[in-house]
């Protein structure tokens, strides 16, 4: 697994002017995962872009994104939405979501990749370009929402979100042994589209 450490944001934009992730801090994809890596960082920053406007983490890959101030704040209900491209609810690519206020100490949302409870990469994205759907509206946007208040002792404001792919744990018990085999990792694993702060 190749570990890339960098901090980059979309040029020409005011990073505090929108509710989406502003920079990639760390990217550790699976060795053979490369889908849209040439389009980083822009492909995972900003609003959801569509089913193929994603970057693949590959099986057990991970990524850390940063939000500029005020970051993600704990408000009523869902506080952040993670957008992936499961296409339909029959093809999930579960990912574990963690948050941090300093990039060092992390709070992990419990994710059961077999039952698909508490994971990102489960619910299709509905707030696609041209849909007219607000990607910060948990009731309409699709994607998977997370509430900071569900985490014991978590800070009321966070600036970092980490996604760690757990697709292998879902598919292999179902007989999908080839899902993460070498040579198939370019298609396998969590595909990140965007992360939105709700409040």
Residue 160 has pLDDT above 90, yes or no: yes
CA distances from 121 to 7, 8, 17, 75, 155 (A): 24, 24, 26, 23, 24
CATH number at residue 15: 2.60.120
Q: What's the burial of 182, exposed, middle or buried (CB within 10 Å: 0-12/13-18/19+)? A: exposed
Over residues 146-167, mean pLDDT: 96
Residue 109 has pLDDT above 80, yes or no: yes
- pLDDT-based confidence at residue 34 (cuts at 50, 70, 90): confident
Check: CB of residue 67 under 8 Å from CB of residue 197.
Answer: yes
Check: CB of residue 126 under 8 Å from CB of residue 141.
Answer: yes
Amino acid 87: pLDDT: 66
**Percent of the chain at pLDDT above 70?**
83
Q: How far is CA 146 from the centre of its chain?
A: 11
Total domains present in the chain: 1
Global confidence as pTM: 0.88
Number of Cβ within a 10 Å radius of residue 6: 11
Full residue range of the structural domain in which residue 72 is found: 4-197
Residue 10 has pLDDT above 70, yes or no: no
pLDDT tens for residues 37-87?
Answer: 999 999 999 999 988 899 999 889 999 999 999 999 999 999 999 999 876
pLDDT tens for residues 116-135?
Answer: 999 999 999 999 999 999 99
Q: How far is CA 32 from the centre of its chain?
A: 19
Over residues 86-100, mean pLDDT: 85
Q: How far is CA 15 from the centre of its chain?
A: 18
Residue 153 token pair: 């002792």
């Amino acid at each position: 697994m190749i570990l890339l450490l960098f901090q980059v944001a979309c040029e020409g934009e005011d990073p505090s002017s929108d509710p989406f992730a502003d920079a990639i801090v760390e990217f550790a994809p699976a060795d053979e995962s490369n889908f849209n890596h040439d389009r980083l960082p822009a492909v995972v920053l900003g609003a959801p872009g569509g089913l193929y406007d994603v970057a693949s983490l590959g099986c057990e890959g991970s990524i850390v994104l940063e939000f500029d101030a005020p970051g993600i704040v704990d408000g009523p209900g869902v506080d952040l939405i993670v957008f992936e491209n499961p296409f339909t609810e029959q093809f999930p690519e579960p990912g574990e979501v963690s948050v941090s206020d300093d990039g060092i100490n992390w709070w992990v949302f419990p994710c059961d990749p077999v039952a698909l409870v508490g994971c990102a990469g489960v619910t299709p994205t509905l707030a696609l370009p041209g849909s007219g759907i607000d990607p910060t509206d948990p009731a309409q946007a699709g994607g998977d929402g997370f509430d900071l208040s569900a985490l014991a002792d978590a800070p009321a404001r966070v600036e970092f979100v980490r996604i760690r792919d757990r697709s292998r744990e879902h598919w292999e018990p179902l007989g999908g042994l080839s899902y993460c085999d070498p040579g198939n990792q370019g298609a396998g694993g969590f595909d990140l589209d965007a992360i939105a702060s709700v409040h």
